[in-house]
Amino acid sequence: MPLINSAAGRPLPEGWKEQFLDVLKTTNLVSEACKVVGIHRPTAYRHREQDPEFAERWQEVIESSTDVLEQICVRRAAEGSDQLMMFMLKARRPHIYRENVQVEHQHNHVVGGEVVLSLTDGRQPIDISAAQRREAARALLAGEAEEDLPEVIEDDAEVVDGEAA
């Protein structure tokens, strides 16, 4: 019994997987490979899930095309694209170049009738109220500089009327 292209309700073309992978190698686009072969994308993805050998070969094509893209990126970064260079460095050495932020929630407590969230940024504990979180989020969305963002209440600061004293 022939395999059925479920969306179209017709048999799949003979040798479609080989042709699909060949087109994928050339275009790097699943949708284009499907169009050339005459199948629907869900059919290709379903067969990838059900056929480990096909899935492995598909992944090899993706890895190979990613290597080519990476070579292009390295060349363009070396030719003067600072932003692309930073993306490449972040990808290759994330422990050095990626913004690594770790925030741990310690506890909530009430200060002046408002719930305050205690966090640590890996260096020292900080307290920040809901109002301060909302203000910081609005400032970030508005594109304000980091130095314009509201200050947080330090753990040992005295709070008077919602302000650190």
pLDDT tens digits along 91-105: 888 877 777 655 555
Backbone angles phi, psi at 144, to 5 degrees: -70, 150
- Same domain? For 91 and 13 the reply is yes
Structural domain range at position 67: 4-95
Reading phi first (left if > 0) and then psi (alpha if -120 to 50, else beta), residue 8 is in alpha
Confidence of residue 115 (pLDDT cuts 50, 70, 90): low
Same domain, 90 and 108: no
Instruction: Over range 118-122, report the average pLDDT.
Output: 53
In this structure, are 76 and 113 located in the same domain?
A: no
- Could you read off the pLDDT of 44-90 as tens digits, one per residue? 999 999 999 999 999 999 999 888 888 888 888 888 888 888 888 88
Whether the predicted pLDDT of 160 surpasses 50: no
Residues 117 and 46 grouped into a single domain: no
Query: By CB neighbour count within 10 A (0-12 exposed, 13-18 middle, 19+ buried), where does 107 fall?
Result: exposed
* Residues 144 and 69 occupy one common structural domain: no
89 and 122 co-located in one domain = no
Domain count, the chain: 2
The pTM of the full predicted model, rounded to 2 decimals, is 0.52
Buried b / exposed e over 11-20, threshold 16 CB at 10 Å, is ebeeebbebb
Residues 66, 111 within the same domain: no
109 phi and psi, to 5 degrees? -150, 165
Residues 109 and 88 in one domain: no
Token readout for 161 is 């009327």
Residues 132 and 91 in one domain: no
Same domain membership, residue 108 and residue 61: no
Looking at the structure, do residues 51 and 110 belong to the same domain, yes or no?
A: no
> Cβ(17)–Cβ(54) under 8 Å?
yes
Q: Is 13 in the same domain as 90?
A: yes
**For the chain, what is the largest distance between any 2 Cα atoms, rounded to a whole number of angstroms?**
79
